[in-house]
Amino acid sequence: MNKLHKKALLIFILLIVNLSTLVGCQYKDVYKNNLETSDNITNINENNAKVLSIQNDDNNLHKVITNISKFSIYDILVKYEELNEQNNIISKSELFLDLTLNPNESSEISFINDDNVKNINIVSYEYNTLDKTVSVNTIDNEVVIKTKNELLKDSKEYEVLTTSKIYKVKNSNGIDIYALDIKNTSKKELGNITVKIGQLDKHGKYIMVDSISSYNILKPSETISMEIKALENTNNIQLLGYSYDDIKEKANINIDLKLHKASVSG
């Protein structure tokens, strides 16, 4: 093979290598982008939309709901009927659970204790995923799935509060009192600080979700302490999220720490 042929062959090989590398890089970029956006997409259909297992707990006026799906759900709205001793409907009502349930997580829900109410019949429930709103009718098994127009934001840039571990401070009249320290790490003044706290029993079931607020202005680098009263059968306390007012931007920021997503209004 003469020198001219060798040179031509070498150029051809280099072109093939460079082209393969370019295609490989483009594929990796597309794949990476797909991974980043797929976190916000929930593949829901009529077969997997029925995400809640509903069981009686202790008596007919306490239920335990469990997320049996493979995705997280939040803003759960339960619609139910109150029944008397003859199983006649006394009234209809609904209960909102301000809690994110990850797969296999459970929560207790309690209903108004009325002597005339002997049973609760859950007729439907609604919930949100990152990109869908779903309604499930438990009577006729009808499922309605809608795509959300407005999606939650990534909360990374909004998570400007650092928090301590929740620690016990005292016992007052048989009630355990805990505290949570919160520091403003931003360069802005923040107002209306509200933390969402979940209390769990020894089985890891949520037995209470509560919001605790401080209406003071929190200056940059300033720290405040929030007091938490524990239920008698509480085994664990979690910080589920928090909200605050960005005074300069005149906006309210609500952060879900389980989803690491934020909603911004104002």
pLDDT digits (tens, 9 = 90+) for 113-152: 778 888 899 999 999 999 999 999 999 999 999 999 989 9
Task: Indicate if the pLDDT at residue 36 is higher than 70.
Answer: no
pLDDT score of 39: 57
pLDDT score of 118: 87
Q: Which residues does 130 contact at the CB level (< 8 Å), separation at least 6?
A: 39, 40, 41, 42, 72, 151, 152, 259, 261
pLDDT mean across residues, the chain: 86
Confidence of residue 27 (pLDDT cuts 50, 70, 90): very low
> What is the arithmetic mean of pLDDT over 33-39?
37
Query: Domains of the chain, with CATH numbers?
Result: 52-147 (2.60.40), 153-265 (2.60.40)
pLDDT score of 58: 72
Longest CA–CA separation in the chain, Å: 103
CA distance 100 to 107: 10
Higher pLDDT, 205 or 21: 205
CA distance 91 to 227: 37
> What is the arithmetic mean of pLDDT over 55-60?
79
Confidence of residue 154 (pLDDT cuts 50, 70, 90): very high
Q: Which residues does 52 contact at the CB level (< 8 Å), separation at least 6?
A: 65, 66, 67, 68, 76, 125, 127, 136
What is the enclosing helix (H) or strand (E) of 197? strand 190-200
> What is the arithmetic mean of pLDDT over 48-59?
90
Confidence of residue 256 (pLDDT cuts 50, 70, 90): very high
Confidence of residue 48 (pLDDT cuts 50, 70, 90): very high
Q: Tell me the CB-side half-sphere exposure of residue 101, using CA atoms within 13 A.
A: 28
Q: What pTM, to 2 d.p., does this model score?
A: 0.81
Higher pLDDT, 184 or 87: 184
Confidence of residue 26 (pLDDT cuts 50, 70, 90): very low
pLDDT over 90, % of the chain: 71
Confidence of residue 56 (pLDDT cuts 50, 70, 90): confident
> What is the arithmetic mean of pLDDT over 46-62?
87
pLDDT score of 21: 40
Task: Indicate if the pLDDT at residue 8 is higher than 50.
Answer: no
